[in-house]
Structure 1
């Protein structure tokens, strides 16, 4: 990773990296399993939550002038209602949980340890703010989905090695249009958690 530069932005300063973060989300989330037909309008609305939080974090990885990876975090109590809802429905307090947003890397830069680095930096963010738990959610697609690549390997083993456990009782729903569609549809999302 010597040739790559890691930039961390917090709170309103995330606005400085908003355009490359949004562009990277649109590019990477077109891949399986998200199949996201991205739009700048959706990205602006989604990322505004991070700009309004005084305790949010965005990590951008640069190769020269190109943003090739990104990850975000903020306290769950400051996250969007869709992320909070499953915890509230299960009677869990939000105040001690750090919510991890995306962890995205362009395909040609994967396998260099950036995914591990993202977890390290976000867990440090949680500790810095006195949060005892970390949580993120991942989309659930049917195993027989026609767009599923034959060689697809889910990230479950990687997340488990990092100490995260799937929480079957915590299910969220997010809406976005799949590739080639103009209307959004609900996607089931499962949460993974770790106690620091």
Structure 2
């Protein structure tokens, strides 16, 4: 049984890599099999169809890209102010940079959700759950600003991540001399999050 769990995890990781590299159109069971270095037909034994595979990718990415609880606990030792929010956003940027493949797969999932109503429903619920969790975390941690602050911060940082991970030259050439994305991240937090 443990072997099946490990193989499923390897297949989902391979699917994430295929999705990030080739987009949803390139996400086939054969491509997943090749990416996981398993015999042809293996993925079809683990996933009933593409929708099942996409849902598994969604669930896996939300675990894979989640913040490290130890890092969160360490950061929460500091004062509850704008600087702490910036530290949380720097952690997010660092995780996105380290796992560019995972974040590119998330962006591909968004695009595919515009074409697949069943994925749109489940993926919307998943992303909405993440946003709700972020607002709850912000409130429970006593960070400055309310739910609207979190939503605006979410939208601004999502845009920064999209540019940084897909077309970094856009910002580098538009803002010469500015440390992209670090200085922009600091500017976003300073502009959106009120002082404590």
Larger CA Rg, structure 1 vs 2? 2
Q: Which has the higher helix share?
A: 2
Q: Is the TM-score greater than 0.5? A: no
Q: Which has the higher strand share?
A: 1
Return the TM-score normalized by structure 1. 0.32
Return the TM-score normalized by structure 2. 0.32
